[in-house]
Amino acid sequence: MDHANLIVGIGGAAGDGVASAGNTLALAVARQGQGVYAYNSYQSVIRGGHSWLRLRVSAQKPLNHGDQIDALIALNQDTLDRHLQELGSGGVALYNSAKIKPSYEPPQGVQLCPLPVPELAPSSKELPVMQNTVAVGAMLRLMGLDFAGLESVISTTFAKKPKVVASNVAAAKAGFDYAGAHFQPLPRQLKPTSQKWALVTGNEVLAMSAAMADCKFYCAYPMSPASAILHWMAAHAKQLGICVRQVEDEISVINMTIGANHAGVRGMCATSGGGFALMTEAIGMAGIMETPVVAINVMRAGPSTGVPTKTEQGDLNQVFGASQGDYPRIIVAPISIPDCFAVIQDAFFLADRYQCPVLVISDLLISEGNETVDPAVFEHIREIDRGETILPSANGELPATNGEPYLRFKNTESGISPRAVPGVPGHLYVAATDEHDEDGVLISDIYTDPVRRKKMVDKRARKMSTVLEHLPPPLFSGPADAEVTLVGWGSTWGVLTEAVERLNAAGITTNHLHVRYLVPFQVREVQKLLGRSRRIIIVENNQSGQFARHLRAETGIAANGHIRKYDGEPFEPKHIVAGVQDILNGKAEIVNVLSTEPGWRTDHPSGTSADWKGRLSGIARAATH
Amino acid sequence: MTTLTAATPRKLEVKDFKADVPPDWCPGCGDFGVLNVLQKACAELEIPPHELLVVSGIGCSSNLPGFFRSYGVHSLHGRALAFATGAKLANHRLTVIVTGGDGDGYGIGLNHFIQAMRRNINLTYIVMNNEIYGLTTGQVSPTSEPGMVTKSTPMGNLEQMLNPLALALASGCGYIARGFSGDPKHLQKLYMDGIQYPGFALIDVFSPCVTFNKQNTYHWFRDHVYRLEDKGHDPTNFHAAMDRAIEWGAKIPIGLFYRNPNPRPSLDKLDPALQGEPLVLKPRGLTAEQRRALVEEFM
Ligand SMILES: Cc1ncc(C[n+]2csc(CCOP(=O)(O)OP(=O)(O)O)c2C)c(N)n1
Ligand code: SF4
Ligand SMILES: [Mg+2]
């Protein structure tokens, strides 16, 4: 990247306020035109817990959380002990000198920045989190940014408590000034820009996009990492007129949501793999009843309860396999936090047009990750097009008919039939999960009729034939005649984009294909793009290569190499670069990446790397054992 | 309950609620009575068929919407209440009636049954309780009597019966009744009251399965049931209702067990998003100003 790009690590135990310190810093830099990408890695294996948030900041929007740190804010002793060694020359480590002392010599060229918090913020005696405010103020100064951004963030955060604003601003300013007087600024300085940013999580974007797409019904059963969608919806329900319900289980969730859609509103629901498993029977119901519904699976590491706070792309097979039988459905995976917006806009359009389930696959990285997004992205709303839905009118008027009897499941050329919803006069029918004829009458029991059964399966299947026309093409970038083609889907887009840059810079010509729509699969485009590839390497956050199998099933194309990861942590660019090198060197065909490296301490399961040799050369090494 | 529209100019009759498809239940099945009486009740209540949504699960009894002329949904086994709840919240002007069997509602769908009562969603739930799984050819049900021999309990049922009425009382249900498909006049009154009740209404109906339940036959029910009304039961008295609900032996009560004299507001009256027009009639999308304000929260 051309612009200065800094990665700040903030660590502490649960309750130390890691996330809120990160959020304050992120907002403060965003208000000065800096792009941010943040990833919070929770640890639950150590006494007291360890929460480790990495915040990458740059005027040029960062696409991932990177793979090294330049600055450290240690909120407890444990964090300083763990992460001090990860800093390189020019790096800084900030900590409250009244509580924390380095346990070992810092790496060469690393600046220790002890902050005498009790002197800088007298209120810290009663309010220990004041140390966070002091540190954030100091960090801002070392980055080269102005104090005004932070002051405005504190003012909005505590808008209702002027006293708290005053004490926090004073503490932050004291940290800011102290850093200016006592420490060397970071070697790469950030410059304020006029760009405006919205700081969002993927879950917030999924929820907000749905609201903007006229989603009027949302229900859920809490499950990480999807719960924040429910929280956003509940917080905005009254203001936006959305019916938001928490109900007894995910079976109820999906059935209610389909019920609401059946009655004519746009409804959505979201869960993670375990809840999605409970939803699958009803997803098939929406298929045979031809009811639109948007359902999101935010993947976490599975199977079963798995690792609730860790990310994975392991539910692809589950989503493909949702429900028995054949039925039309659309499956899409957003590739980034901002992409969640467009995906949901499109999902509602497609669900209404094709009267079928649209299944959206997100993951913990996207859904709980934090990123600055250009607010202009949120202006790209899709015109609300209800397709062939016939809705009731407020005055109970009869919709125009051509005198023919209404057939809810009319066997049309497109397979799409006009869908009247309850309340519309003159269009009575029964929507059944049993196989039924065009008029909705069952043909499943005593009326069994092979000809009509096949006709109805064909009618529904035919809907899928025109979906491809409405889908954006798969993303492809990089030189056409590259030595390596990286193929990914979902949340790996940002990491792959950076890895491709680094590989090309290192002389390994690389291009990148990223798939959003998994069903229907853009077979022709993908075959054409991959047909020219010399070496195809598939990158995915799971153990068995679920996407690789799908690609092969759809296109007949088998990859030459695989980079996989299933340790709970997301990929970092260096993992991809090292994995490609290993594959090219013939070391392995499948590279299983682990977020630890040589030099990793056994008491240091922080998901971060400890061997930093050569990391500034642009190509980091990754363990592939 | 809503106003009539242009589509229903004349007085409604039973035939307005009869679908073109004749019921395919076994001759003598109790569900015929349940259907006929429901058609009468809806005609008498003048509910326009297009403003009536009848939702069922899966089972012999759950085939009812196919024989009833209105908007209908034949959903999944056990999920009718969940589906109907979503539909009612999307358009709370609809009159929503849920029909199904004992297996559907008290077995696989039990959680939804309890939660729907607790939630007090304004719909009427009619359970055709034949104390057996009919459609799957005669296995034990949660309401089968102890000792009952069925295909899946050849040595006799080892489990206790589930008591839907006591469960309903405990779950906050405001209208609780039991009818018998062999006593249609009595049943119709319960339906009409239940449909007009402003909250969740349960009507459990003894609806004999003549094919697979040779124990709880019409004859058996006639011998056992008595009308609560004939015994001076006070349906506004919760504790008296509980006493009657747990009665099961030589005599079994039917009729209105409980009607909350001070009905709790139903969910649609409480949810802020549902005030005024139903969701389905609300203006589409958000205004540019609303959208801008949402984005600004993140800046
Ligand atoms: C998930 C699921 N499990 C099992 C079945 C099979 N099944 C259909 S109807 C039924 C029981 C029906 O009993 P009840 O609800 O009492 O209705 P009845 O036929 O007695 O009227 C069962 C087990 C199903 N359709 N779906
Ligand atoms: S099997 Fe029993 S419940 Fe089913 S239709 Fe026949 S008599 Fe009725
Ligand atoms: Mg039954």
pLDDT in tens, B223-252: 999 999 999 999 999 999 999 999 999 999
Beta pairing, strands B71-74 & B95-101: unpaired
The count of structural domains within chain B is: 1
Q: Say whether pLDDT at A179 is over 90.
A: yes
Q: Given CB atoms, is A267 within the 8 Å cutoff of chain B? A: yes
User: Given this model, what pLDDT does residue A615 score?
Assistant: 33
Backbone angles phi, psi at A122, to 5 degrees: -55, -30
Task: Give the bridge partners for A9, in sequence order.
Answer: A54, A72
Per the CB < 8 Å rule, is B50 touching A281?
Answer: no
Three-state SS string over A397-451 comes to CCCCCCCCCCCCCCCCCCCCCCEECCCCCCCCCEEECCCECCCCCECCCCCCCHH
| Span from the CA of B218 to the centroid of ligand 2 (angstroms) | 13
A520 preceded by a cis bond (ω within 30 of 0): yes
User: Given this model, what pLDDT does residue A47 score?
Assistant: 46
Q: Which residue of A has its CA nearest to B48?
A: A425
User: What is the rounded average pLDDT of the residues A346-354?
Assistant: 98
pLDDT in tens, A408-439: 999 999 999 999 999 999 999 999 999 999 99
Residue nearest to atom 1 of ligand 2 (CA): B134
In whole angstroms, give the CA distance from residue A493 to residue A376. Answer: 21
Q: Minimal CA–CA distance to B71: which of A51, A282, A419?
A: A419
A225 preceded by a cis bond (ω within 30 of 0): yes
Q: Minimal CA–CA distance to B86: which of A548, B78, B94?
A: B94
pLDDT in tens, B41-63: 999 999 999 999 999 999 999 99
Q: Say whether pLDDT at A606 is over 80.
A: no
User: Given this model, what pLDDT does residue B7 score?
Assistant: 53
Asked if residue B278 lies in contact with residue B92, where contact means CB atoms within 8 angstroms, the answer is yes
Q: Given CB atoms, is A391 within the 8 Å cutoff of chain B? A: yes
Asked if residue B104 lies in contact with residue B61, where contact means CB atoms within 8 angstroms, the answer is yes
DSSP secondary structure, A87-149, as one string: --TT-EEEEETTT---SSPPPTTPEEEEE-HHHH-GGGGT-TTHHHHHHHHHHHHHHT--SHH
Where does the pLDDT of residue B174 fall: very low under 50, low under 70, confident under 90, or very high at 90 and above?
Answer: very high
Q: What percent of chain B has pLDDT over 70?
A: 97
Asked if residue A467 lies in contact with residue A330, where contact means CB atoms within 8 angstroms, the answer is yes
Q: Which residue of A has its CA nearest to B94?
A: A423
User: Given this model, what pLDDT does residue A473 score?
Assistant: 95
Per the CB < 8 Å rule, is A217 touching B89?
Answer: yes
Q: Minimal CA–CA distance to A242: which of A266, A277, A271, A270?
A: A266
Cβ atoms < 10 Å from Cβ of B296: 11
Q: Which residue of A has its CA nearest to B79?
A: A255
Q: Which atom of ligand 1 is nearest the CA belonging to B135?
A: 19
pLDDT in tens, B11-37: 999 999 999 999 999 999 999 999 999
Per the CB < 8 Å rule, is B24 touching A446?
Answer: yes
What is the widest separation between alpha-carbon atoms in chain B?
Answer: 73
Q: Assess if residue B1 is contained within a domain.
A: no
Amino acid at A353: R
Per the CB < 8 Å rule, is B87 touching A422?
Answer: yes
Q: Assess if residue B59 is contained within a domain.
A: yes
User: Given this model, what pLDDT does residue A598 score?
Assistant: 36
User: What is the rounded average pLDDT of the residues A568-581?
Assistant: 95
Which one of B51, B54, B91, B96 makes the best mutation probe of the A interface by having the most chain A beta carbons within 10 Å? B91
What ipTM was predicted for this assembly? Answer: 0.97
Mean pLDDT for all residues in chain A: 92
DSSP secondary structure, A326-372, as one string: ----EEE--SSTTHHHHHHHHHHHHHHHHTSEEEEEEEHHHHH-EEE
In whole angstroms, give the CA distance from residue B91 to residue B159. Answer: 40
Asked if residue A455 lies in contact with residue A487, where contact means CB atoms within 8 angstroms, the answer is no
User: Given this model, what pLDDT does residue A399 score?
Assistant: 74
Run of H or E including B74: strand B71-74
Per the CB < 8 Å rule, is B82 touching A255?
Answer: yes
Per the CB < 8 Å rule, is B285 touching A422?
Answer: no
Asked if residue B48 lies in contact with residue B7, where contact means CB atoms within 8 angstroms, the answer is yes
Where does the pLDDT of residue A68 fall: very low under 50, low under 70, confident under 90, or very high at 90 and above?
Answer: confident
As a residue count, chain A comes to 625
Q: What percent of chain A has pLDDT over 90?
A: 85
In whole angstroms, give the CA distance from residue A230 to residue A219. Answer: 7
pLDDT in tens, A216-256: 999 999 999 999 999 999 999 999 999 999 999 999 999 99
Run of H or E including A506: none
B194 lies in which domain range? 14-296
| DSSP conformational letter for A625 | -
Q: What percent of chain A has pLDDT over 70?
A: 92
Q: Which domains does chain A have, with CATH numbers?
A: 5-196 (3.40.920.10), 200-379 (3.40.50.970), 388-459 (no CATH), 475-593 (3.40.50.920)
Mean pLDDT lowest among A76-80, A220-224, B92-96: A76-80
Per the CB < 8 Å rule, is A397 touching B6?
Answer: yes
Q: Assess if residue B2 is contained within a domain.
A: no
- CA-based nearest distance B293→chain A, Å: 11
User: What is the rounded average pLDDT of the residues A290-299?
Assistant: 98
List of residues 6+ apart from A105 with CB closer than 8 A:
none
Where does the pLDDT of residue A274 fall: very low under 50, low under 70, confident under 90, or very high at 90 and above?
Answer: very high
User: Given this model, what pLDDT does residue A540 score?
Assistant: 98
pLDDT in tens, A89-127: 999 999 999 999 999 999 999 999 999 999 999 999 899
Contacts of A212 in chain B (CB under 8 A): 285-286, 291, 294
Q: Assess if residue B72 is contained within a domain.
A: yes
Residue nearest to atom 6 of ligand 1 (CA): B136
User: Given this model, what pLDDT does residue A490 score?
Assistant: 98
| DSSP conformational letter for B68 | B
Token pair 């009486």 in the structure block, residue = B37
pLDDT in tens, A450-468: 999 999 999 999 999 999 9
Beta pairing, strands A50-58 & A71-74: unpaired
pLDDT in tens, A359-369: 999 999 999 99
Looking up residue B44, the CATH number of its domain turns out to be 3.40.50.970
Q: Measure CB to CB from residue B74 to each of A217, A392, A434 and give the nearest one.
A: A434
Q: Which range is most confident: A51-55, A82-86, A485-489?
A: A485-489
Grouping H, G, I as helix, E, B as strand and the rest as coil, residue A48 is coil
Per the CB < 8 Å rule, is B294 touching A212?
Answer: yes
User: Given this model, what pLDDT does residue B296 score?
Assistant: 96
Contacts of B49 in chain A (CB under 8 A): 428
In whole angstroms, give the CA distance from residue A219 to residue A242. Answer: 10
- CA-based nearest distance B61→chain A, Å: 14
Asked if residue A330 lies in contact with residue A356, where contact means CB atoms within 8 angstroms, the answer is yes
pLDDT in tens, A23-58: 999 999 999 999 999 998 875 544 467 888 999 999
Q: Assess if residue B9 is contained within a domain.
A: no
Mean pLDDT for all residues in chain B: 96
Cβ atoms < 10 Å from Cβ of B132: 28
Pocket flag, ligand 2, residue B128 (CB < 6 Å): no
| Span from the CA of B101 to the centroid of ligand 1 (angstroms) | 8
pLDDT in tens, A123-178: 998 998 999 999 999 999 999 999 999 999 999 988 889 999 999 999 999 999 99
Contacts of A251 in chain B (CB under 8 A): 79, 82, 112
What's this model's pTM, rounded to 2 decimal places? 0.95
- CA-based nearest distance B66→chain A, Å: 6
Q: Assess if residue B6 is contained within a domain.
A: no
The whole-angstrom distance between residue A110's C-alpha and the CA centroid of its chain comes to: 34
User: What is the rounded average pLDDT of the residues A199-215?
Assistant: 98
- CA-based nearest distance A488→chain B, Å: 29
Q: Give residues whose Cβ lies within 5 Å of ion ligand 3.
A: B 101-103, 130
What's the token pair of residue A601? 């301490």
Q: Say whether pLDDT at A1 is over 80.
A: no
| CA geometry: angle A67, A73, A79, nearest 5 deg | 80
- CA-based nearest distance A225→chain B, Å: 20
Where does the pLDDT of residue A595 fall: very low under 50, low under 70, confident under 90, or very high at 90 and above?
Answer: confident
Residue nearest to atom 2 of ligand 1 (CA): B77
